[in-house]
Structure 1
Amino acid sequence: MRIDVHAHYWTDDYLDLLVELGKTDTDTQRGMGAGGGAELDARLRLMDRAGVDMQVLSTAPQNPYGPDREKAVAAARFVNDQYAGVVAAHPDRFLAFASVPMPHIPESIAEMGRALDDLGMVGVAMNTTVLDRALVDPEFAPIFAELDRRGTVLYLHPAGNSACSPLIRDYHLTWMAGAPIEDTISVMQLITAGFPLRYPNIKIINSHLGGALPMLLQRADNQYMWEAPQTPEAPSVQARRMWYDTVGHGHLPALQAAIDSFGADRLLLGTDFPYENDKVFVRAIDYISDPGIAPADSQAILEGNAERIFGRIPAPSGTA
């Protein structure tokens, strides 16, 4: 079964709640195919065309984060209930990652429990930063402790904050370069803080092939002992304790670098729908089967690895 772990879904009603939380970029997210109704029907047709059996829906980077506790909780509950409805209507096509109202810790833990226990979600989605703060900030430790206790999946996606750098933001590079830089920084922070060892039961999925990490692993191994000597294990070893989606915009050298760096068993199919749509969406799946990729690696990435993460999922109706 082909399971797309990097697929966005949000409606205008949900985006309106984010505006109340202070989000200023929701206009660009409207009408692009991420919603319900006719947009959902078109998504299903495209999934069929590309041979994608299921998607795991997530709100990231449009997560319900904000300083107003009540509004953040209301937005998280709204979208989790909305996701549960989509999954209930199409149980053979969709799963969902829960959204949590960060940075409000007790409320996020409570909503995590409701979404996982009552709504049947398969993990939690978070941004690589919380209101411009690193996930390894000690204040967020209770979130990771609860994720670890539950042994659940944590899907991480860039926040779109240009890595808090005007050198990115002011030069129109927020998504072209900034997003994979956010991925890279986040993964390296997790590694230098030893999170894959400290929280071994969390199945962490990083976006976009881990950003630049495949090109930096040997550099990190060579330099961490003098720059981050508290790192408990070599970066290349810890990197292979996590997972990475295959969103690489069809760039075969990037996919091959990730396979060589992490191992094909650490890669999961991702499309970045609806940002990758139509022919680009199809290419996001097809490039994994390029003749330059070993067939066994392609098979593992497309079919086998997700089952190790989420457990065995019944095949969609009408399939063998």
Structure 2
Amino acid sequence: MTEYIDAWTHILPRRYFARLETLGSASGRLKRWLTLRSLFDLDERFRIMDQFSGYRQFLTPSLPPIEDLADGDAATDLARLMNDELVELVAAHPDRFAGWCGALSLLDPDAAVKEIHRLAEMGSAGVQIITSVRGTPLDEPRFAPIFDTVAEYGMSIWLHPARAPTVPDYPTETLSKFEIWWAFGWPYESSAAMARLVFSGLFDRHPRLRIVTHHLGAMIPFFAGRIAQGWGKQMGTRTPDSDAHLLPPPLKRAPSDYFKLFYGDTALSGSAAATRCGLDFFGNDQVMFGTDFPYDAEGGAILVRETLRALDELALPATVRTKIDRDNLLAFAARAP
């Protein structure tokens, strides 16, 4: 029987969900998370999973970003609560859940480093990091110890986008319209975060660090030619000398080489063409089956069904499908030497 391990499935464990219900549901800002049953109800989750033979999940913390829910010690405590429950879920249901990655609050980098030490002892495959911390980019020097510690343990990073409707589409406005902040804003956030990490020299410092980007690298595969041409030998030609501080320090490799070091999941809502584009960019060894479960109108079933359909449509060789369906995730989730 073919086995599929879904590399990016969101969950709100029971005690964490109960805490979340006290954090502002009346304002409506948590509306979707508090009403999508398969996000927090295991029976409903299992009912949907049972529709797909050989299907298991790798658990990742659901949004909202912890940094947007609380401050200081309260945010750190939320991350610890999430992680305590994730390890319990995987231990209790190994037939359902193949592994997990932990939550962090980056508001307190020192506390985040301590939590990574704890996650390593708990058996977490890595950590999920949001593409910015309340609008602060991930290449801020104060976040460097977090990446250093993940690399030290040989753990991996799940990089998840987030952007709020308070980020307008145009400078003359105050709010984003038509949910553009989500549809196009989130892929932009992923792409911008990837670029900031690349040009900060992260991969020169940690060449073995593994980062998987949600939604198959967002804009990066589609704009691979633009990256190679515009950020190759032309870097700096658009920037006046007075703004030279906005340019990156010298890197050991061409920018496009670093972008190919990222991994991607197939969470593209069933687009075979986009999946093909991502596979061509990242290669067969750095793409893993992922669906974004359970964020659809059927509590996750549509995303699983349509992602599998898109992969089937590509008619990939059996050896490649096995890599994408399970093996790439298992290798990614294992500790790097």
TM class by shorter chain equals 0.7 to 0.9
- Does residue 311 of structure 2 align to residue 297 of structure 1? no
Q: Distance in 2 between matches of 1:296 and 1:252?
A: 18
Please give the TM-score of this superposition, normalised by the length of structure 2: 0.83
What percent identity do the matched residue pairs reach?
26
- Does residue 208 of structure 2 align to residue 201 of structure 1? yes
Question: Which structure has the larger Rg?
Answer: 2
Of residues 260-269 and 292-301 in structure 1, the stretch that sits farther from structure 2 once superposed is: 292-301
1:1-320 equivalences under 5 Å are 1-10=3-12, 11=14, 12-16=17-21, 19=24, 25-36=29-40, 39-51=41-53, 53-65=55-67, 68-94=71-97, 95-117=99-121, 119-161=122-164, 164-167=167-170, 169-224=176-231, 225=233, 226-227=235-236, 228=247, 230=249, 232=251, 233-276=253-296, 277-311=300-334
User: Are the structure 2 counterparts of residues 163 and 231 from structure 1 closer, same or farther at C-alpha, using a change threshold of 3 Å?
Assistant: farther
Q: Give the drift of 1:229.
A: 5.3
Q: Which has the higher helix share?
A: 1
Question: How many residues of Structure 1 are paired with residues of Structure 2 in the alignment?
Answer: 307
Q: RMSD in angstroms over aligned alpha carbons? A: 2.5
Q: Distance in 1 between matches of 2:80 and 2:149?
A: 19
Contact 2:39 2:45 (C-alpha < 8 Å) held by counterparts? no
Q: Distance in 1 between matches of 2:250 and 2:286?
A: 21
Q: Give the drift of 1:52.
A: 5.1
- Measured against aligned partners, the alpha-carbon deviations of 1:142-170 in whole angstroms (never above 9, x if no partner) come to 11111111110110101233694443823
Q: Give the drift of 1:29.
A: 0.9
Where does residue 318 of structure 1 map in the other structure? Answer: none
Contact 1:99 1:126 (C-alpha < 8 Å) held by counterparts? yes
Tell me, which stretches of 5 or more residues in structure 2 are unaligned?
Answer: 237-246
Of residues 62-71 and 249-258 in structure 1, the stretch that sits farther from structure 2 once superposed is: 62-71
Contact 1:191 1:238 (C-alpha < 8 Å) held by counterparts? yes
Q: Distance in 1 between matches of 2:24 and 2:61?
A: 14
Q: Distance in 1 between matches of 2:178 and 2:55?
A: 39
SS of the aligned residue for 2:6 comes to strand
Q: Distance in 1 between matches of 2:21 and 2:265?
A: 29
